[in-house]
Chains A and B, each alone.
Chain A
Amino acid sequence: MKGFGKSEDTQQQIIRETFHLVSKRDENVCNFLEGGLLIGGSDNKLIYRHYATLYFVFCVDSSESELGILDLIQVFVETLDKCFENVCELDLIFHVDKVHNILAEMVMGGMVLETNMNEIVTQIDAQNKLEKSEAGLAGAPARAVSAVKNMNLPEIPRNINIGDISIKVPNLPTFK
């Protein structure tokens, strides 16, 4: 969840309502929801895509093209897939920070920054490399420990929605 300048409570409320709105929609309906008061009035729309158990929700105002944002969500998901190598729900749950970093390369301060997937992946890889080189030897034991810990990951995926809202003024990017 990315929320610009909103209090935690409001953010949570937005997430709840958005989830409520989005999750009860049928498979065969359009992917746009007209703005309620919470998301900043009628100029704003919720645009979402549904992948298995995940919803990706963007909240955008009228300066964005609706179909363009749908494409953008697709780019986002494909990028996640590349960066995580076959992304699954658990990746997103356990690596929120990485999801955020990827999103930051696409949407900045609520405005679309980059839509070219290759460019995004290149930048993400370069940054990961930089991170790795900084960790150096010292990072090794930590990685080992973390690998051990990861062995007993719970298998049952909990139904968590990943949303991701990016908006101009009032708010947004990714929930949980």
Chain B
Amino acid sequence: MALKMVKGSIDRMFDKNLQDLVRGIRNHKEDEAKYISQCIDEIKQELKQDNIAVKANAVCKLTYLQMLGYDISWAAFNIIEVMSASKFTFKRIGYLAASQCFHEGTDVIMLTTNQIRKDLSSPNQYDTGVALTGLSCFVTPDLARDLANDIMTLMSHTKPYIRKKAVLIMYKVFLKYPESLRPAFPRLKEKLEDPDPGVQSAAVNVICELARRNPKNYLSLAPLFFKLMTSSTNNWVLIKIIKLFGALTPLEPRLGKKLIEPLTNLIHSTSAMSLLYECVNTVIAVLISLSSGMPNHSASIQLCVQKLRILIEDSDQNLKYLGLLAMSKILKTHPKSVQSHKDLILQCLDDKDESIRLRALDLLYGMVSKKNLMEIVKKLMIHVDKAEGTTYRDELLTKIIDICSQSNYQYITNFEWYISILVELTRLEGTRHGHLIAAQMLDVAIRVKAIRKFAVSQMAMLLDNAHLLASNTQRNGICEVLYAAAWICGEFSEHLEEANQTLEAMLRPKVTTLPGHIQAVYVQNMVKLYASILQQKEQAGDKEAAQEITQLMIERLPQFVQSADLEVQERASCILQLIKYIQKLQAKEVPVAEEVIALFAGELNPVAPKAQKKVPVPEGLDLDAWINEPPSDSESEDEKPKTIFHEEEQRHSRHRQPEIDEEELARRREARKQEQANNPFYIKSSPSPQKRYQDTPGVEHIPVVQIDLSVPLKVPGMPMSDQYVKLEEERRHKQKLEKDKKKKKQKKEKRGKHHRHNSLHTESEEDIAPAHHVDIITEEMPENALPSDEDDKDPNDPYRALDIDLDKPLADSEKLPVQRHRNVETLKSPDSEAALVEKKSKKPKKKEKKHKEKERDKGKKKEKEKKVVEEEEEEEEKKGEDLDFWLSTAPAPAPAPQAQSEPALGAAVVAEPQEVKKEEREERDDEEEEDEGKKSSKHKKKKHKKEKEEKSKDKKKSKKKSHHSEEEPPESVQNGTLEDEPLPPMSSYRLLAENPFIKMTYDIQGNLQNDSQVTVSVIFENKSTSFLKSMELNVLDSLNTKMLRPEGSSVHDGIPVPFQLPPGISNEAQFVFTLQSIIMAQKLKGTLSFIVKNDEGSTHEKLDFKLHFSCASYLITTPCYSDAFAKLLESGDLHMSSIKVDGISISFQHLLAKICFHHHFSVVERVDSCASMYSRSIQGHHVCLLVKKGENSVSIDGKCNDSTLLSNLLDEMKETLSKC
């Protein structure tokens, strides 16, 4: 036994390590699986040992096996054990394993929270680093929420190594826990200017990533990035920033103008291809956004195209590829400049590299014109024939169709040619895109009336040769075209010349091998064919032939009746019966054709795909309401509705074209013109449907074919599209000659039918008149369709959650959850925070504080509270103005760096807006004089911040005063979430006390984490010209309410205010109070003592005050869903009380906003002039309100767990409201 143990421990030294495992696997190639399962058994043994080194070794091997594809999730717990080892060596192994195999579904992951937190705060930077790296791979929403605050702290770590990792991982945290974005953002922004390039680049990285998804929220950072761009030399950072600008410019064209110059400079100066390429890309984006031409734009475009041409011509395939990629972007807005490089692009089509060919194909899409379409497609057809590999061939096929069908077949001048191309494409073997071709055939045949005759003849030919298409394999995708062919032949059978032959082709036994849905179409359409043949024969008086054809149907149809496909079977048997009946009638010599054909009368019109969705619900129609009372019980439940639907379906299946009156037509024409005007690809003078309507009174089929002798009436045999190319050329030539002639004499008749020809005398490509007068029927939209583009948004986009307005101040509820242990800590934290602010003098921190003061009742983003709307409005405006300012002033060079340090001065300033306004205006003017011309945006921003609460009107005025350059109304940047009327500014800060030296305002906020604490934020504003220092605040505690003092101090000691105040400056400090009961309002007496110091010396001063704790200050704005709200009301354990206030004149919206703001409620639901609201106290009382507004009064019904609290709250509310 003892011997065994000794042996065991020696064995351990010879345990397989990773290298042994790898070697072993390589030596067991034949029985790898067996060998590995053996190893896994060994590993399982090793994991059972207590020795952490053994475990780590085992986990290391498992990690390798995971990479080979073995599931190792069973060892998740062991991995956590290794992660928590004290040695870095093992820890790293553990974290690596975790990063490889943990994911959101791993259940033990929640056990890691504390371990990770410990590692994050480890004194060893590599422990922290390894934890951050690991976490970045397996962070879950829970981990993100719990660790967000720790990571945020690390963003200010002393070591850049940790800082950069912490910054980078924040992106992952944001993704998983979007609520953390707003609180963390100020610090993230700060890191953009970190002294360490690695940290800076990480911050740029994260912000670029965020901005890519929701650019509009980051527009306000543009000035900062602009500065970085002009100052940074790190290509990585530059590339990122330039990419970011590419995403921003579409939102703000003026930004683009500003960018062009520095970007062009970079293009000229840089030697790094990657940077050059990104610059070109962004310049393109800028040019796209500035679609209206500035005179010197063409130079920029030329520069880009030129540089791209160099890339494309480069022997390096990578550059070639990227050049083509960028070229395709230019193409969208400046096709002309790209088209001149057609030669180069066609050349790329022959490249041996598929990626490059595909890119070149993309480019072709935008380069076609009426003139060269045929030529280009011909070239592509050659490629189709040559192409090896079905993927590339399929790609070619779709591209050909895309190119031809783009913008409503704009470039096709000869549809016969197009149909021939489609028919030729059907000869491709093994393509997956049969349905695409089929769809095109149907589309063209339906929408281009003039082509139907030709299309039908071609389709008949296809049906005749169906065996060629279908024979290859059953699964052949190309047989889909038979679907289209059958339908076209049936529907437009009147154009069919040899209908008998086609019918026979459709009745061949071979057809039964086609897929069911195609057979079904066959069956349906052979009846249409039959009907038209019947009519033809009857009219010719050829009764025998008519009976013959009936007989044929009766003979052949049974093969479909036996089909295994239900649809086919049903249709066939139905039709068989019908035809048998017809036979009977024929036997009696009754003419039947008219009746049979009546079955298929009417014309089908294309309907826009989204038409149904866009029909607005008529007013007063409730789609959810029952039309009839729901049937009491079981019984005929199924049957009745079914029959209803059935009838309806049949009725609708043949949608009859309603008569359209002139008015309606005019309206449609107008709508269409509108659409065309908005369509960038639409060339106004091309043959357009509107022409059609000018000479067609109705949608009835009107022969609009211009007889053109150069078009062959019928091309014998399988059509070769090439023939058309030649013919077309001849035709064009002829046309041109004709036109030249016409031009001379035709000046008089400049109206009427020949409008198009006459209006175009230049020799542009649009000159080419199509072979047919093409009437493309546009898709029908319901009348009064709602224009909306929101159909395409994916509601599941994970990045949508990050669409957060970052300039809005932070609300209390949004703060990151912090672990708190003792009360004392909470007391200290505001102090230290304030101290930090002072020391660092950085803006973001300040901003954070500011939220507290400003607004706390801003709920979650979904909730559309008036208050939020108001804030957003203001903020949006502010953002817009900052940007406006930056964009409109300051020439291209970077903002002067000295201005950057400006904020330091005002660092500790939190202004009480209304009061300081005047002062501030002056201050600003002063400053403006100082640095005229080089105003830093930041500086400006700050000022705006200060006047945050000024009325927006005031703001606009003042803005005009400060810079009268070109400016757009701020609405241009706004989001459009505006409510109908603006809300007046509100401040929750109330006056505490005031004397000639100092003014104190305060606000009280509940603390969610602690049910017996509130935080009082006091703003101290120095009104004197002296320096205020040694401020100390003290209150007389009551039994219920006590100020929280640092440990060890007595109840009579005051708390020092953690800052001093220079003249005219204000700052905020926070004090924590504990309370027992919160159901009553409280008042505490207190004193502020301070020393006033000026040139004459210093004096000691005092100011008494009364601190009023209203009941509302114990409430915390908590959003509540209406169903939860209803449940709460139903629960029955709430006391009720109500008040009524008369003489209210303000609007209901303002009223709600006031209640939300001052009393910390949130709106649950609002219907007209009635709203339900909800809030929660820090001790968990639910408070529900029902607010109703009458003519001149407001009544509020309240419900709450505690009746005293409720009545006190209502009293407070009454007071607020009576002030309105």
Contacts and interface: CB of A to CB of B under 8 A. Distances in A.
A11 B69 CA distance: 7
A101 interface: yes
A130 B168 contact: no
Nearest to B277: A67
B510 interface: no
A130 B941 CA distance: 47
Interface residues of B, number: 75
B137 A96 contact: no
A116 B164 CA distance: 13
B23 interface: yes
A111 B67 contact: no
B71 A8 contact: yes
A134 B23 contact: no
Interface stretch (A50-58, A78-86, A138-146): A138-146
B171 interface: yes
B321 A30 contact: yes
Contacts of B273: 67
Interface stretch (B96-104, B421-429, B557-565): B96-104
Contact of B236 (A112, A145, A153): A112
Interface string B167-208: 011011000000000000000000000000110011001101
B257 to A, nearest CB: 24
B317 interface: yes
B103 A29 contact: no
A4 B17 CA distance: 26
Interface in A19-51: 26, 28-34
A30 B356 contact: yes
A158 B67 CA distance: 17
Contacts of A28: 317, 352-353
A46 B879 CA distance: 39
Contacts of A109: 133, 136-137, 139, 168-169, 171-172
A119 interface: yes
Interface string B73-92: 00000000000000111001
B239 A65 contact: yes
A130 B352 contact: no
B876 interface: no
B355 A113 contact: no
A108 B66 contact: no
Contacts of B206: 111
Given A29-B317, A96-B18, A104-B133, A8 B70 contact: yes
Contacts of B139: 109
Contact of B22 (A94, A101, A131): A94
B317 A108 contact: no
A40 B132 CA distance: 25
Interface string B353-393: 11110100000000000000000000000000000000000
A123 B169 contact: no
B923 interface: no
Contacts of B92: 101, 127, 131
Contacts of B274: 65-68, 70-71
B644 interface: no
Contact of A12 (B23, B69, B168, B320): B69
B19 A94 contact: yes
Nearest to A72: B236
Nearest to A169: B798
B353 A30 contact: yes
B1 interface: no
A168 B206 CA distance: 11
B104 A113 contact: no
Contacts of A96: 18, 22, 63-64, 67
Identify the interface centre among A4, A68, A126, A141: most chain B CB within 10 Å of its CB. A68
Interface in B974-1031: none
B209 A113 contact: no
Contacts of B96: 97, 100-101, 104
Contact of A176 (B19, B68, B137): B68
Given A68-B274, A113-B168, A123-B161, A158 B88 contact: no
Contacts of A63: 208-209, 212, 243
B20 to A, nearest CB: 6
Given A94-B18, A108-B169, A109-B136, A29 B89 contact: no
A169 B172 CA distance: 10
A21 B390 CA distance: 15
B54 to A, nearest CB: 11
Contacts of A169: 798
A15 to B, nearest CB: 8
Contacts of A104: 96, 130, 133
Interface string A149-168: 11001100010000000001
Interface residues of A, number: 63
Given A111-B205, A142-B13, A154-B27, A1 B67 contact: yes
Interface in B143-179: 161, 164-165, 168-169, 171-172
B459 interface: no
Nearest to A158: B26
A134 B87 contact: yes
A8 B69 contact: yes
B198 A114 contact: yes
Contact of A65 (B14, B161, B277, B353): B277
A129 B100 CA distance: 24
A29 B274 CA distance: 18
Given A8-B69, A108-B133, A109-B136, A130 B126 contact: yes
A5 B103 contact: yes
Given A8-B66, A100-B96, A131 B88 contact: yes
Nearest to B71: A8
Contacts of B130: 104
A127 B88 contact: yes
Contact of A26 (B66, B126, B322, B352): B352
B13 A145 contact: yes
A141 B322 CA distance: 54
A111 B126 contact: no
Nearest to A149: B20
B445 interface: no
A67 B864 CA distance: 45
Interface in B1-48: 13-14, 17-20, 22-23, 26-27
B317 A119 contact: no
Interface in B106-152: 124, 126, 129-130, 132-133, 136-139
Contact of B318 (A30, A34, A97, A130): A30
A34 B355 contact: yes
A95 to B, nearest CB: 8
A96 B22 CA distance: 10
A135 B318 CA distance: 46
B1078 interface: no
B93 interface: yes
Interface string B254-274: 000000000000000000011
A153 B20 CA distance: 10
Identify the interface centre among B71, B205, B318, B354: most chain A CB within 10 Å of its CB. B318
B884 interface: no
Nearest to A104: B133
Contacts of A2: 99-100, 137
A18 interface: no
Contacts of A114: 164, 198
A140 to B, nearest CB: 11
Interface of A: 1-5, 8-9, 11-12, 26, 28-34, 63, 65-68, 70-71, 93-97, 100-101, 104, 108-116, 119, 123, 126-127, 130-131, 134-135, 141-142, 145-146, 149-150, 153-154, 158, 168-169, 174-176
5 contacts: A28-B352, A31-B318, A114-B198, A154-B27, A158-B26
4 closest A-B pairs by beta carbon, nearest first, are A109-B136, A67-B274, A30-B317, A29-B353
Given A29-B356, A30-B353, 12 more contacts: A2-B100, A8-B71, A26-B353, A29-B352, A31-B317, A67-B277, A96-B18, A97-B93, A104-B133, A108-B168, A113-B165, A123-B161
